[in-house]
């Protein structure tokens, strides 16, 4: 059976979701996204530059929505009302597309989420038939509240957005994974491939990242590394890791038949 | 025909246009014709199908947005 990520009834072969910000240009964006193997890409909604050359390339041309599932976000929103307005605009812009990433920030320095406003926005968006993937703190109770509100996926931070600090609290992530039934994706904090692998080994359903790829010295190469890390971590999770113990009296090689029988007995 | 001046706010900036003007006409004057945009008028979405039939009124607040790279 194929091991797919299922979100809101749709299946995705890739468990790596990537952002499209902070790249040098659209060519690099496209090359990195392609190398990552991601099928879901996040985009931001912003005021158009009035007077800008109409012939200028757009993100929609670089990453055709026919080929990728767009996940419009509410980055930069600090209250529920702005987040809901932004996603209504996104749905209109993307011809009725209703899978969205909700994030309501609480602080412009840490970009830590404002959870009361996030929950309020989630409830409103679900009433309006949006399919909400929600960026949240790694608090298992908040995650359960978002699930109860009807979110299709919860996406706790591993560490702060853009920090690259990795998985700071695997125990809380584990609690979130254990407590909610909808997919759990780590969103924010991944810095390098091992971070993504750790998230997947914990049992996360996917990982969403932007800066870890875009801010690497070679973004396309890092995108390839992240693809492998997410796949490797997922397979390790499915395989079921061996238990940890401080030491083992069971060597991997046979204890019998060594050429120095007295020592093999001691081992 | 009486041409009246319409004062509106587009993406936070005050602008003046000769009226009457609908949303499609406004987008053309903003050089957004053919560009994939979404429009909000006074907090409400104006669906693409209604751009030609939604008249801009004096004092309207409009947002014209596009998709850009982001996390």
Q: ipTM for the complex?
A: 0.94
CA atoms within 13 A on the CB side of A72: 29
Give the residue among A7, A6, A8, A38 at the shortest CA–CA distance from A20: A38
- Cα–Cα distance measured from residue A103 to residue A246, given in angstroms and rounded to the nearest whole number: 41
Nearest residue, CB atoms, B38 vs list A20, A92, A209 = A92
Give the residue among A101, A96, A52, A57 at the shortest CA–CA distance from A76: A101
Q: What CA dihedral angle connects A239, A190, A209 and A20, to 10 degrees?
A: -150
- Cα–Cα distance measured from residue B32 to residue B13, given in angstroms and rounded to the nearest whole number: 16
Least-confidence region, from A6-10, A93-97, A107-111, A246-250: A246-250
Contacts of A151 (CB under 8 A, 6+ apart): A102, A122, A126, A132, A133, A134, A182
Contacts of A140 (CB under 8 A, 6+ apart): A172, A175, A176, A178, A179, A180
Please say if A101 is a catalytic residue: yes
pLDDT for B2: 63
Residue A54 confidence class, pLDDT cut points 50, 70, 90: low
Burial class of residue B8, CB neighbours in 10 A (0-12, 13-18, 19+): buried
- CB atoms B70 and A44 under 8 Å: yes
| Mean pLDDT computed over every residue of chain A | 94
- CB atoms A50 and B30 under 8 Å: yes
- Residue A81: what are its φ and ψ, rounded to 5°? -60, -45
Q: What CA dihedral angle connects A100, A119, A44 and A14, to 10 degrees?
A: -40
User: Strand pairing partners for A64?
Assistant: none
Contact status, residue A29 vs residue A219, Cβ threshold 8 Å: no
pLDDT for A55: 66
- How far apart, in Å, are the Cα atoms of A61 and each of A66, A150, A226, A242? 10, 32, 25, 47
Please tell me the pTM assigned to this model: 0.92
pLDDT for A267: 44
A51 Cβ under 8 Å from any chain B Cβ: yes
**Whether the predicted pLDDT of A201 surpasses 50:** yes
Q: Label residue B65 left, alpha or beta by phi (over 0 means left) and psi (-120 to 50 means alpha).
A: beta
pLDDT for B54: 95
CA closest to B41 among chain A residues: A89
Nearest residue, CB atoms, A59 vs list B13, B31, B69 = B69
Q: Label residue A166 left, alpha or beta by phi (over 0 means left) and psi (-120 to 50 means alpha).
A: left
pLDDT for A58: 85
Contacts of B70 in chain A (CB under 8 A): 19-21, 42-44, 46, 73, 75, 210
Q: Label residue B47 left, alpha or beta by phi (over 0 means left) and psi (-120 to 50 means alpha).
A: beta
Respond yes or no on whether the N-terminal peptide bond of residue B36 is cis (omega within 30° of 0). Answer: no
CA of B46 vs chain A CAs: smallest distance (Å): 8
CA of A121 vs chain B CAs: smallest distance (Å): 16
- Residue A167: what are its φ and ψ, rounded to 5°? -85, 100
For A111-121, write each residue's pLDDT tens digit.
999 999 999 99
Contacts of A136 (CB under 8 A, 6+ apart): A113, A115, A118, A142, A143, A146, A154, A155, A156, A157
CA of A232 vs chain B CAs: smallest distance (Å): 24
For A159-197, write each residue's pLDDT tens digit.
999 899 999 999 999 999 999 999 999 999 999 999 999
Q: Which two tokens stand for residue A14?
A: 């890739």
- Cα–Cα distance measured from residue A233 to residue B65, given in angstroms and rounded to the nearest whole number: 38
Contacts of A92 in chain B (CB under 8 A): 38-39, 45, 47-48
Q: Which two tokens stand for residue A45?
A: 């909604």
Give the residue among B28, B62, B29, B58 at the shortest CA–CA distance from B45: B62
CA of B37 vs chain A CAs: smallest distance (Å): 6
Contact status, residue A222 vs residue A213, Cβ threshold 8 Å: yes
B47 Cβ under 8 Å from any chain A Cβ: yes
pLDDT (mean) for B22-28: 94
Residue A1 confidence class, pLDDT cut points 50, 70, 90: low
Q: What CA dihedral angle connects A39, A98, A121 and A128, to 10 degrees?
A: -160
């Amino acid at each position: 059976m194929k091991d797919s990520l299922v979100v809101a009834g749709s299946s995705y072969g890739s468990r790596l979701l990537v952002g499209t910000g902070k790249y040098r240009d659209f060519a690099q964006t496209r090359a990195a996204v392609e190398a990552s193997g991601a099928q879901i890409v996040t985009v931001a909604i912003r005021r158009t530059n009035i007077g800008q050359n109409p012939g200028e390339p757009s993100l929609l041309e670089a990453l055709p929505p026919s080929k990728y599932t767009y996940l419009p976000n509410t980055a930069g929103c600090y209250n529920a009302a702005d987040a809901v307005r932004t996603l209504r605009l996104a749905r209109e812009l993307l011809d009725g597309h209703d899978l969205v990433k909700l994030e309501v920030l609480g602080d412009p320095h840490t970009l830590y989420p404002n959870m009361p406003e996030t929950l309020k926005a989630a409830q409103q968006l679900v009433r309006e038939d949006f399919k909400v993937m929600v960026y949240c703190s790694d608090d298992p109770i908040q995650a359960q509240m978002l699930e109860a509100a009807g979110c299709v996926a919860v996406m706790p931070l591993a560490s702060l957005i853009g920090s690259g600090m990795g998985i700071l609290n695997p125990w809380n992530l584990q609690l979130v994974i254990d407590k909610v039934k909808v997919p759990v994706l780590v969103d924010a904090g991944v810095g390098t491939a091992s971070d993504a692998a750790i998230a997947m080994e914990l049992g996360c359903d996917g990982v969403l990242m932007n800066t870890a790829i875009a801010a690497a010295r070679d973004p396309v190469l890092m995108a390839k590394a992240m693809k492998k890390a997410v796949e490797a971590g997922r397979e390790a999770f499915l395989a079921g890791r061996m238990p940890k113990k401080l030491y083992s009296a069971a060597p991997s090689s046979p204890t019998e038949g060594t050429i120095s029988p007295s020592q093999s007995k001691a081992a | 025909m009486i041409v009246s001046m319409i004062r509106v706010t587009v993406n936070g900036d005050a602008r003046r246009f000769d009226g009457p003007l609908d949303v499609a006409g406004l987008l053309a004057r903003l050089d957004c014709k053919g560009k994939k945009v979404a429009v909000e008028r006074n907090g409400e979405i104006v669906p693409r199908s209604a751009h030609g039939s939604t008249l801009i009124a004096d004092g309207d607040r409009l947002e014209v947005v596009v998709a850009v790279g982001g996390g």
